[in-house]
Structures are given as C-alpha cells and as structure tokens.
Chain A
Amino acid sequence: MEPVVERELVLPAGPEEVWESLAEPAWLGDDAQVDLRPAGDVRAGSRTGFVEWADAPRGLAFWWSEEGEEATRVEIALEEVEEGTRLTVIESRPLALLDAVGSDLHLDLGVERRGTPELIAR
C-alpha cells in the first residue's frame, strides 16, 4: 500500500491570491514559516524542511520531517477554475520504500539540502 494523503478543495480566490495566502504561513500553524523558493526554509511546529521547487502561482513541493522521523514530500498544485482556484495537496512518504528494503540510509534534512531528494529516495 502506497502511503499517500491527497486532499482537494476549491477556494473562492484567484491563483495569485491563493499563492499569497500560502506565503503567509499562519495556515500551517502558529510561528510557521515558509520561504516559497527552491531551498527555502519550511518550519511548522516541530517540523522543519525545505522547498524543493516553487512555481508561482502554479504550485510547489517541499520536504519536511519531525526530528528523528523520516521526511515526507508535500506537493501543492493550484489550478484556476470558474469558482476560483482548485488546490490539490499530496503528501507522500517516498522514503518509506527504504524501510521496506531495510535500508539504513538516512536523509538528514538539516544538512542534505543540496541533495536531490527524488534521487536519494530512489
């Protein structure tokens, strides 16, 4: 079973406005921080990570993890629709594959930010 969480909702605002709202990270929790550009910091509660790619106002992907836990990848896509913007979020756990094969390879997001997570995950 592939561990993936997917959510979708339509917001009553254009993609640019939704993008600006994403950049005000209160929605991720108190004291959250999101720097919406590649390698930008992501902080939310006890989670830290970095932005993999960002393409305003179409979407972004970031990686984050709680200390000592495996990192997960979040991809957010914005699509203009008649009622506003359809936002799709997919959180996946690519590194769970590593658990399955018993690898002890560990991705430390704090220092590995220059690595390409997709390649590491494969």
Chain B
Amino acid sequence: MATVDRTDAVFGALADAGRRRLLSELGERGEASATELARGLPVSRQAVQKQLGLLADAGLVGTRRAGREVLYRPTPEPMSDAVAWMAEMGGQWDERLAALERQIARRRG
C-alpha cells in the first residue's frame, strides 16, 4: 500500500546516485547477490549490501535466500510509473551532466 511514509522512503532511497545506479543494475540483471553486484561496481560488497538494505527498507528490492547466498531483485510494486520514470531519467541526467562536465574540462584543458 502506498502511504506517505512509504513514498518518502522511496524518494529517500532514490535520492542517492549510487543507489539509483545499483537499482538500475539490478533491473538489468533481474536478480543478483551483493557479491555479483559489487563485482561490476567500484565499491565493496559491504557497501553494496548496505545500500541494498536501504532499498529493501523502501520496498524497492525484495530478497530471497538461495543456498548460502541472498539474492536481490527489484520489486515493481512501489515503483509507480512516475517513480520508475524519475529513477531512469535521473540516472540518465547524471550521466549527461557528468559528460558535460568532462567536455568543459577538456575545453579548458
């Protein structure tokens, strides 16, 4: 059920660029362990686990135990269309603006 608290938690969880990247990575993989996710990112497994915990608190990812691993997957329920759009577009703007920053640095290089 979408409550105001839940919406705040969702926005809080999505406010961080690293967590947005993590969520979009998870979206591409479908399901993955913290170890697998950390492999493709410049952060430790512990850091990934902590961020996944925050995403889980917001209801944005679900977990399931598989043997000795915990697998994470994105849960679409709280990701209303608008929130999903904001997460995706926000991630794209982070990339474009980083590219613009590099472009300006090169000009001034």
Interface residues of A (CB under 8 A from B): 1-5, 7, 9, 11-13, 17-18, 20-22, 24, 26-29, 72, 87, 89, 91, 93, 96
Contact code string B75-106 (vs A, CB < 8 Å = 1, else 0): 00000111101100110011011011111110
A18 touches B104 (CB 8 A): yes
CB of B24 closer than 8 Å to a CB of A: no
Interface residues of B (CB under 8 A from A): 7, 80-83, 85-86, 89-90, 93-94, 96-97, 99-105, 107-108
Min C-beta distance of A14 to chain B, whole Å:
10
A17 touches B104 (CB 8 A): yes
A22 touches B108 (CB 8 A): no
A21 touches B86 (CB 8 A): no
A13 touches B93 (CB 8 A): no
CA distance A28 to B100 in the complex (A): 8
How many CB-defined contacts (below 8 Å) exist between A and B? 60
CA distance A21 to B100 in the complex (A): 7
Q: Which residue of B lies closest to A7 (CB)?
A: B93
B82 touches A3 (CB 8 A): yes
B97 touches A21 (CB 8 A): no
Neighbour of A87 across the interface among B85, B94, B97, B103, CB < 8 A: B97
B103 touches A13 (CB 8 A): no
Min C-beta distance of A78 to chain B, whole Å:
11
